[in-house]
């Protein structure tokens, strides 16, 4: 089996300044569990499933760079 046979096509990514609310909507609407974060044509992190993010104080002010996992390996 090759990676290309199991990978998802049409991946959508977000920028580090993308609001968490927008990312959560994208995850819900597209039924995905993580969204890659990119900057300057490179992958810098990913935002995992946003369960629990809404309970964080001032979550409406959060952007991807504050909650993404990094570094990407």
CA end-to-end distance (rounded Å), the chain: 22
Query: In terms of CATH, what superfamily is 8-67?
Result: CBS-domain (3.10.580.10)
- Structure confidence at residue 1 (pLDDT): 84
The domains of the chain are located at 8-67
Q: What is the pTM (predicted TM-score) of this model?
A: 0.73
The tens digit of pLDDT for each residue in 16-25 reads 999 988 888 8
DSSP string, 35-71: EEEEETTEEEEEEE--TTGGGSTTGGG-BHHHH-B--
The tens digit of pLDDT for each residue in 47-57 reads 887 555 555 55
Residue 68 near residue 37, CB atoms below 8 Å: yes
pLDDT at 72 over 90: no
Report the chain's mean pLDDT, rounded to a whole number.
81
- Structure confidence at residue 38 (pLDDT): 94
């Amino acid at each position: 089996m090759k990676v290309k046979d199991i990978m998802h096509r049409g991946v959508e990514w977000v920028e580090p300044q993308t609001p968490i609310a927008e990312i959560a909507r994208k995850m819900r609407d597209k039924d995905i569990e993580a969204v890659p974060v990119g900057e300057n044509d490179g992958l810098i992190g990913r935002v995992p499933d946003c369960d629990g993010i809404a309970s964080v104080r001032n979550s409406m002010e959060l952007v991807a760079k504050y909650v993404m996992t990094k570094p990407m390996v």
